[in-house]
Structure 1
Amino acid sequence: MHVRFPSVRHPHTFYDVFGVVTVAVAIMALVLAVRYGEVIRLEMAVFIAVVFLWAGWAIERILSETTERSRRQRQRDWPWK
């Protein structure tokens, strides 16, 4: 069985997005557990905002690729062509 790591540049599935967001939240929790200050909280807020913006982009990309793939498959399966 082939297992691959989540892709940040080319996400293909929900598991890519879920894996990256989970790792980001774990990193944020670890940093906030070790150090807690105004600057650190601000940096973590910016970090998590960037991660969620990336997640939105990744989901949009996955959905658009799925739509294109579905359209191509439907065109290929049309019996009258």
Structure 2
Amino acid sequence: MSVRLPSVRHPRSFYDVFGVVAAAVTIMALVLAVRYGSVVRLEMAAFMTVVFLWAGWAIERILAESKDRARTQRRDPPWN
């Protein structure tokens, strides 16, 4: 069984989005556990904003590719 790492540049599935967001939340939790100050909190808020904007872009891209793929693979219904 081969497992691939989540892709940031070319997300192909929702597992890519989930993997990147989960890794970002883990990194944020580790940083805030070690250092906790107003500057660090501000940096983590900016980091999570960027991650969630990326997640929105990635989901939009995955859905657009899925729509294009469905359009090219359209077949006649089985009852015809």
Q: Same fold (TM over 0.5)?
A: yes
Q: Deviations over 1:11-54 (max 9, x none)?
A: 00010000000000000000000000010000000000000000
The separation in 1 between residues aligned to 2:72 and 2:2, in whole angstroms, is 27
1:31 lines up with 2:31 in the alignment: yes
Amino acid across the alignment from 1:35: R
Helix, strand or coil at the partner of 1:32: helix
The separation in 1 between residues aligned to 2:3 and 2:29, in whole angstroms, is 26
Corresponding residue of 1:51: 51
Helix, strand or coil at the partner of 1:66: helix
Unaligned runs of 5+ in 1: none
The separation in 1 between residues aligned to 2:38 and 2:44, in whole angstroms, is 10
Amino acid across the alignment from 1:18: F
Unaligned runs of 5+ in 2: none
The separation in 1 between residues aligned to 2:54 and 2:20, in whole angstroms, is 10
Runs of 4+ in 1 over 4 A off after TM superposition: none
Shift of 1:78: 4.5
Corresponding residue of 1:8: 8
Q: How many correspondences in the alignment?
A: 77
Corresponding residue of 1:69: 69
TM-score scaled by length of structure 2: 0.92
Identity %: 74
The separation in 2 between residues aligned to 1:2 and 1:63, in whole angstroms, is 25
The separation in 1 between residues aligned to 2:40 and 2:72, in whole angstroms, is 48
Shift of 1:71: 0.3
